[in-house]
Structure 1
Amino acid sequence: MKEGSVSNPESHPLSPADADSVVAVAHKLLTRRFGGSPELTEVEVLSGSGTAVVVRARLAPSAFLPHRSVVVKHMPVTGSPIDDAAFLREVVAYQFTTSLPQEVRPGPVLLAYDMDSRIVVLTDIGEAETLIAALNQASESKRVHLLRLLGEQLGRMHAGTATREQDYEHLLNRMLTRYPEYATTHAIRDRALRRSIEVGAQILAAEGLEPPKEFDGLMRHATRFQQSGRSRAFTPFDLSPDNIVVGKEMYFLDYEWAGFRNVGFDVACVIAGFPQFVFARPINDEEADVFITAWVREITTAWPRYGDQAKLEKLLVASLVGWALSSLSTMYADGIEGIIALAEQDQPLASGPARESFLRQADSTTFSEAELLIRRDLYETFEALSRFAARCSGQDYAVIAAYANQVAQRLAVRQP
């Protein structure tokens, strides 16, 4: 794959509000990579995630660059190693996905990037709406269709990248060799995820909700297969429905935390109704079954064992347990930065009079608006785990379903 980066194209820190500066750097990047002098006009500021600035610009017809428009994403320097790691991951992820066949590629193509200006230039996928907007406006039958399509696209990406982890690691290692200052931070999110699962179980126990051994066993299983395992493929990991768009195809955007991980977590994220995204309507059992069936149909050539219902159930229930616990501890720690601090310090979550648990009994207190949103989101995640485990075969899953329902009922707040 031809390299899309240039070394410091007269770059300088950009103002997040300065779209013209972002486009000017993009122009230099495209000129140096493709030649000619591509003209970028009709600049439109799009919404970005976090502190990112995203703009669309139209390209004048050119033999050098046969695209009608491009999207330029700028992640300003914040001084946070977390943001540094996110930008490096995004560049590597786009390098990797750009090398994939079109039928597997999950999103736009990387045209150019620059580490100094923290800019990526991508092909424009055209007009599309977010998955959350599509789901919220859809009829019941249309929702089922959208979730079937999501299962197909997710499974196609997983199966198509299952044997390509070495290719991804080669790109990542090459980038870390060129930018060694990122070496200590690029894997920080993965360490934090594993730690957050453990912390979530500690929080529940401290609140009088001691997990049963069956739940604890799957929690440990989820922690292990996040670190290693056979069922790994490329995933953006941030499967928030506002980072998935529906147009002629379904695309996954925002690769700031992309990498190779166990595929069960992606599937569980959807079944759980997109944990940590509070504006999504819960996924019902019929919708979950359609989604899972579509996903399994795409991935059984890569992982035939998931044609076995028992193996599939263990993967998905363990992944749902992981999501529920990780979401709980992330909310307690006030976001990913707090979880990363916990992971790096390897110590329990601090508690004290300044931190009043949002797991406290609902009939003995009132909750702030923020706490109600957190409780609703966590309620939906644990309730989805309970419903799914209850439909699985075996006494262990019945125990897990009952326990998850107990946690969900603690979180339920019935307004007068």
Structure 2
Amino acid sequence: MTVDTSSAGDAEVGAGAEHLAAAVAAGESVLSRRFGSPITLVSPEDLAGSGPATVVRARVVSSSFALPRTLVIKHYPDEPEPGAADPFAQEAVSYQLFTALSADERMCPELLAHDGRDRVLVLEDLGRTATLEDKLYARDSRAAERALLSWARSLGRLHASTAGREADFNALLRRLGGPGRSDHGVVDELCARVPGLIQERLGIPVPEAVREEVAHAVEQSRSAAFRAFSPVELSPDNNLVTGEGVRFLDFEYGRVRSALVDAANLRLPFASWPDALALPAGMSEAMIAAWRAEVAGVWPAFADDEALAGHLTTSELLRVWLITGEELGALDLSHHAPPVSRESALVTWWRDLAKHAGYVRMTAVSEFSSKVAAALAARLGPHADLAFYPAFR
């Protein structure tokens, strides 16, 4: 029996074209209202956004205004669930916050127009430039190193330029009617889950001193100190490497939180990204130095080496703890792990945490982390070390 799938395929293609057309129409509508004259967009190109938005690059063909030749449109056709955070509102407010800054402080594309009724944003098009992911997976170690340092500097500049602007962000969010995002419930649940998981899967009890350090790490992440805007999604595919430095994209989860939560990525590079790999010796320290050079003027406490190391290690502990809560239960510990697996990642991150905690005299955390790393390695084999990104192999 032959099954005719052409109608299903045609429907899928049609639905895609329909979403593109809706995004272009919404973009034309908001631009025409913004500038008071009809503006036509043509040649839509699907940029395949990973979130709920339809993302389109389109060319401007009829405009009496000094608009760029091409624009990027992000259209959110679906309303959020009642009471849920609205990704459109989060992203619109995030871009508004940056558009109010000077060009050299804006670490993202400029917001040209937006509309809450059409749920659409029109953004500056940064062009067909490489992402940070492209640099990490190419074979040019120097280019990858430059891109990582640029990313760290841009992250620091993003934090420094938005420090003290939480009230502005919240006011803009209220204007769009969006409730703010909070991960407090998820974090608390994950933190509570980890001791049982480690006991069950590795046979290691969690000492009370370690639990207290984790509780302190949670408090630091929620502290009123060092708060600034965070894109939250810091995956390297969300960062464009431009001639003016790395620029951040995708603020669907954007919010104000402790900058130290983001800074954990300087120790655990892009750990929440499923494809995260390792960096060579010294790279993390160089990235921390680049980030600190941008934020120390705003937060002088970070100019002190010992204080900064303590803060970063506490953030690193929380990041490793949460990832363990998310992933340890599902990992296969019954066979040797390849060096590009999440199993190997967890071994490497616990081992690195043990080293960094030892440097700052967090003795209980250092000893416990060494035990966890050793127990994982004993189950996963002698080669359970996370591989470098291809650029550094």
Normalised by the length of structure 2, the TM-score is 0.83
Q: Does structure 1 residue 66 correspond to structure 2 residue 34?
A: no
1:307 correspondence with 2:317: no
Structure 2 gaps of 5+ residues are 1-13, 385-393
Structure 1 pair 159/263, CA: closer, same or farther in 2 (3 Å)? same
The residue that corresponds to 2:318 in the other structure is 322
Give structure 1 stretches of 5+ with no counterpart.
1-13, 177-181, 333-356
Shift of 1:212: 3.4
Paired AA for residue 154 in structure 2: Q
Does residue 399 (structure 1) correspond to residue 367 (structure 2)? The answer is yes
Which residue, 256, 259, 267 being the options, matches 1:260?
256
The answer (yes or no) to whether the contact 1:59–1:67 under 8 Å persists in 2 is yes
**Helix, strand or coil for the counterpart of 2:310?**
helix
Check whether the contact 2:221–2:260 (CA below 8 A) recurs between aligned residues.
no
Which of 260, 272, 276 lines up with 1:276 in the alignment?
272
- Structure 2 CA distance for aligned equivalents of residues 413 and 78 of structure 1: 48
How many angstroms apart in 1 are the aligned matches of 2:172 and 2:312? 30
1:4-403 matches, within 5 Å, as: 17-18=17-18, 19-60=20-61, 62-77=63-78, 80=81, 84-176=85-177, 182-183=178-179, 186-207=180-201, 208-248=203-243, 249-331=245-327, 357-358=329-330, 361-362=333-334, 373-392=341-360, 395-396=363-364, 398-399=366-367, 401-403=369-371
Letter in 1 for 2:124: T
Instruction: Supply the distance in 2 between the matched residues of 1:84 and 1:117 (Cα, whole angstroms).
Output: 17
Mapped contact 1:271–1:283 kept (Cα < 8 A): no
Per-residue deviation, 1:203: 2.6
| CA–CA separation in structure 2 for the residues paired with 1:53 and 1:286 | 39
- Between Structure 1 and Structure 2, how many residues are aligned? 367
The letter of the residue matching 2:322 is: S
Shift of 1:131: 0.5
Q: Distance in 2 between matches of 1:267 and 1:231?
A: 11
Instruction: Write the distance in 2 (CA, Å) between the matches of 1:284 and 1:221.
Output: 30
CA contact 2:230–2:254 (8 Å) conserved in 1: yes
Q: How far off is 1:61 after superposition? A: 6.5
CA displacement, residues 369-399 of structure 1 (integer Å, 9 cap, x when unaligned): 9xx9442443343344334334445645643
Instruction: Please tell me the root mean square deviation across aligned C-alpha atoms, in Å.
Output: 3.0
The one-letter code of the counterpart of 2:162 is T
Paired with 1:309 and 1:393, the residues of 2 have a C-alpha distance of 14
Q: Tell me the distance in 2 between the aligned counterparts of 1:325 and 1:16.
A: 40
Which secondary structure does the structure 2 equivalent of 1:43 belong to?
strand
2:151/2:246 contact within 8 Å kept: yes
Paired residue type of 1:199: R
The alpha-carbon distance between structure 1 residues 58 and 395, as it changes in their structure 2 partners (threshold 3 A), is same
2:80/2:86 contact within 8 Å kept: no
Q: What is the CA–CA distance in structure 2 between the aligned matches of 1:82 and 1:148, rounded to whole Å?
A: 39
Residues 82 and 247 from structure 1, CA distance in 2 versus in 1: closer, same or farther, beyond 3 angstroms?
Answer: farther
Aligned residue in 1 for 2:6: none
Q: Quick check: 1:194–1:226 contact (8 Å CA) kept in 2?
A: no
Measured against aligned partners, the alpha-carbon deviations of 1:285-306 in whole angstroms (never above 9, x if no partner) come to 3100100011111111111111
In the TM superposition, residue 124 of structure 1 has moved relative to its aligned partner by 0.9
C-alpha distance in 2 between matches for 1:317 and 1:78: 39
Q: In the alignment, residue 285 of structure 2 is paired with which amino acid?
A: D
Distance in 1 between residues matched to 2:70 and 2:43, nearest whole Å: 10
Counterpart amino acid of 2:219? R
Specify the code of the residue in structure 1 equivalent to 2:223: S
Q: Deviations over 1:344-378 (max 9, x none)?
A: xxxxxxxxxxxxx4356435xx99x9xx9442443
> Aligned in 2, Cα 1:395/1:265: closer, same or farther, shift over 3 Å?
same
- Kept in 2, the 8 Å contact 1:233–1:262? The answer is yes
Q: 1:375 to 1:125 in 2, by over 3 A?
A: same
Question: Aligned residues: percent identity?
Answer: 28
TM-score, normalization by structure 1: 0.78
1:206: Cα distance to partner? 3.9
Contact 2:154 2:246 in 1 (8 A): yes
| SS of the residue 2:273 aligns to | coil
- Contact 1:71–1:123, Cα closer than 8 Å, also in 2: yes
Partner Cα distance (1:373, 1:59) in 2: 44
Q: Would the alpha carbon gap of residues 196 and 112 (structure 1) be closer, same or farther in structure 2, given more than 3 Å must change?
A: farther
- Per the TM alignment, residue 262 of structure 1 is displaced from its structure 2 partner at its CA by 1.0
- Look up the SS of the partner of 1:47 in the other structure: coil
Say whether the 8 Å CA contact 1:300–1:307 is kept in structure 2. yes
Matched position secondary structure for 1:242:
helix
**Would you say the 8 A contact 1:382–1:408 is kept in 2?**
no
